[in-house]
Amino acid sequence: MCRRRISRRAGNVIMLCLLVLGIQQLSGAAIIKAKARLAPVLIERAWEQILRSGEPAIKPWPWADTWPVGRLRVDTLGVDLLVLEGDSGNALAFGPGRALPSSQLGSEGTAVIGGHRDTHFSFLQHMQKGQILQLQVASGKVIDYEVQSLQIVDASRTSLSVNLTAEVLVLVTCYPFDALQAGGPLRYVVTVTPKKAEPARASVVTSGAAAPRFSYWREPVLSYRTASAVRDLGVSASEKSFFPVQEQRVRAIEF
């Protein structure tokens, strides 16, 4: 009798533990699903507040480590995306993000935006030379850009040169778009410039002092030609030594 009681109690305890575990799993899935639905609404609201108030950084929720800095549209492809500040994993889960070492959106220099190939930046595979896209910045200004080049590059062996004077926007995602396994070295790079401006393309190079890396580039994504340009980004001379110089030359695949 005692053994039967103990066995029943043990069985009840196990059943209770399984029930609690099941509830936790279901609630966790529900929370993730709720976040996925709620986050775009909160990010959109933050962007509207930024446009109305002129404040450069309004977080969509109090503990967020990012905020919207621009709106990217490609009407011909039905694309309408809010660009977030930073290209960390947390930011890229909610949308494409501006690489922090790069220039501000809509300003002189090269601004880099990264995004996931299978979600927000999957449309890049359909872009063509001469295609027009629009970028709205925090001031409310809308800029028309024209695609200048599309490249497939090996990010483990190349870096991206930076134009310090002309306005250049570079969109980057992983490649191939239909890869079964993430984390490969190939990147799909779309370079665009303001429509009315003289083309000033950023190209893949392998020489020069390298600047900070960002999450979509295993090796440094930006190559600056002067130490002053690096300092302008808030990188000290001591920090500069941590960014290796690329020596190997790789021919990029262009379209």
pLDDT above 80: residue 83: yes
Q: Which of 22, 44, 64 is the last residue of a domain?
A: 64
Q: What is the residue-averaged pLDDT of the chain? A: 75
Q: Which of 11, 31, 64 is the last residue of a domain?
A: 64
| Strands 97-98, 79-85: pairing kind | parallel
pLDDT tens figures, 159-204? 777 777 889 999 999 999 988 877 788 999 999 999 975 555 555 5
pLDDT above 90: residue 253: no
207 shares its domain with 138: yes
Structural domains in the chain (count): 2
Give the N- to C-terminal CA distance of the chain in Å, as an integer: 80
The residue to which tokens 């109690």 are assigned: 9
101 shares its domain with 38: no
99 shares its domain with 212: yes
53 shares its domain with 79: no
184 shares its domain with 236: yes
39 shares its domain with 80: no
The residue to which tokens 């492809």 are assigned: 77
51 shares its domain with 143: no
173 shares its domain with 233: yes
Task: Give the CATH number, domain containing residue 213.
Answer: 2.40.260.10
As a whole number of angstroms, the distance between CA 153 and CA 186 comes to 6
pLDDT above 80: residue 37: no
26 shares its domain with 104: no
Residue range of the domain that includes 49:
1-64
Paired residues of 109 in beta bridges: 167
188 shares its domain with 90: yes
Q: Which of 64, 80, 107 is the last residue of a domain?
A: 64
Lowest mean pLDDT among 138-142, 191-195, 246-250: 246-250
